[in-house]
A and B are shown apart, each in its own frame.
Chain A
């Protein structure tokens, strides 16, 4: 669509801008301000320059947390994206079953994140939880408070339970936009199921998948409440992700300077990775516009 050049459009944006500025720019300034100072109390502070940033970047505990965070995000993406596509492909397309399945599949997305943690805490406990108890009955010494492997596996399973529906719904919606004629033509062309998926369904899903991957990356990178409730970051610090490290540092230890520097680094990592995806989306839309022209 060719847009009209009109700077009065700023008036339409203004209310939104004021609100977002209030909730984003002012707090961010505070963070930047803290990140270059050492604050003792309300009246005593020193300018420290980039010292906090250097300290944070060289902190082995934080480096480990960043790696852990990437490992977690990539793992859940690797599981949730294919699984979500698969679910979308087998979801019923019409009738009451379609509505029922849709509602059931969406359910985990609308549960408060700490309740998700609680649900899985109850579900996996060795004494009262169905899963934990069953695994122990089967002879596996399942224990998320002692075994990092168990803790990791459980958190990933929880995340898959919690967020696969998002990918599935995005894909389901994308699949619904494919006209019947495409499937009919493919049948006449004697295409196999795999060929239909590869050449008709997957191309139609690329746009929604970029959105899905972007959202999933962002949210998994910010994960806080679910592992905090389920494992508290343990055993040790094996499931302590970035948000939890940051919260502990800022609220728990009141290390304002270092935590502010850490915040900015954290934010920049997400921005950088997301920017790559954003560019991809924009390029794809450019292609689409050319095609329409």
Chain B
């Protein structure tokens, strides 16, 4: 079985890359453990499909190593890698029946027919394809086709990982959740490593145990959905995960006080302390809209803000606020009344993150 490790991996589609922007994948290290359910999350063009194709062997990386169980496989072709891949648009062999489609990868390596039958029946059962086995694959619906292409990976008992490249793009919304649940079920039943590429945070967090967020050719954070939400490693993760994204406030230290433009922030002293050591001007504080406390009247340590707009989303509301020059969003639950005109905010100390040059810096709490 396989643990997939990427060691100082980098890839460029240009023959002579010079600047960082020439790279589709910037130098990175990463490990996918055997049997895990992972998601690779990022906006389009961030390099996630490139990374997937490097793992499956469709692309050879410009530099660095791809290791399966510690063995270098850089130049091994996909057929020798024991990896299956499900593509964005369903790939089925149109002229074959569902049964023959599922049997195809086994017959290609001359597996005895009784063994083929056994495997196909098992996989068809798991994917609920048994009633369709005799149908021509080209008459299937998109979600059934995706199941067939996944099934072609599952029938092989040498496959140790299945890679999914945005597999739900062409599936009807009401079938998406069903197929996603099926994937999860399959993952538990077959104990296979699954890597799932998507740009949809909801898809990623419902499928995966751990999510790798990619941004400009790099994995900027690898963690559980909860870690990504509560402690984003990078401002991009803050923006990208959550709805709405994290608030970021440009701050500077003046006379020992933490300033956002001309407004002083009432905030724990340890932040001010940490700011003393910072040598760059790119300093931000990040706080999730969910974690901002909103009060109608001034409380201790609160800051007065203008309420510009309230968006009622049923079970909760989003407040669009102005703190001096800085725009902020806050989220309040439906039982709390939305303040009018003025409001008073408090930032809980343990919910505020410090970001220096876009990366999170741990602040020791007292």
Contact = CB atoms under 8 A, between A and B. Distances in A.
A217 to B, nearest CB: 24
Interface in B48-83: 56, 58, 77-79, 83
Interface residues of B, number: 25
Interface of A: 179, 181-182, 184-185, 187-192, 195, 199-200, 203, 290-291
A184 B58 contact: yes
Contacts of B105: 188-190
A185 B58 contact: no
A203 B94 contact: yes
A185 B91 contact: yes
Nearest to A189: B105
Given A182-B91, A184-B78, 7 more contacts: A181-B89, A181-B91, A185-B152, A188-B56, A188-B85, A188-B105, A200-B93
B91 A187 contact: no
Contacts of B79: 187-190
A195 B109 CA distance: 12
Contacts of B83: 188
A181 B88 contact: yes
B135 to A, nearest CB: 12
Interface of B: 56, 58, 77-79, 83-85, 87-89, 91, 93-96, 104-105, 108-109, 138-139, 149, 152-153
Nearest to A188: B78
Interface of A is mostly: helix
6 contacts: A181-B87, A185-B87, A187-B58, A189-B105, A199-B93, A199-B104
A185 B149 contact: yes
A189 B152 contact: yes
B85 A190 contact: no
B108 A189 contact: yes
Given A185-B149, A199-B96, A192 B91 contact: no
A244 to B, nearest CB: 42
A192 B77 contact: no
Contacts of A203: 93-95
B285 to A, nearest CB: 44
A189 B83 CA distance: 9
B36 to A, nearest CB: 20
**When A and B form their complex, which 7 residue pairs have the shortest distance between CB atoms, in order from nearest?**
A185-B91, A189-B105, A190-B79, A181-B87, A190-B108, A203-B95, A199-B93
B109 A190 contact: yes
Contact of A188 (B84, B138, B139): B84
Contact of A291 (B88, B91, B95, B139): B139
Contacts of B109: 190
B108 to A, nearest CB: 5
Contacts of B56: 184, 188
B304 to A, nearest CB: 56
Contact of B77 (A179, A187, A195): A187
Contacts of B138: 291
Contacts of B84: 188
A166 B77 CA distance: 35
A192 B110 CA distance: 11
Given A187-B77, A191-B104, A179 B94 contact: no
B137 to A, nearest CB: 10
B96 A185 contact: no
A4 to B, nearest CB: 27
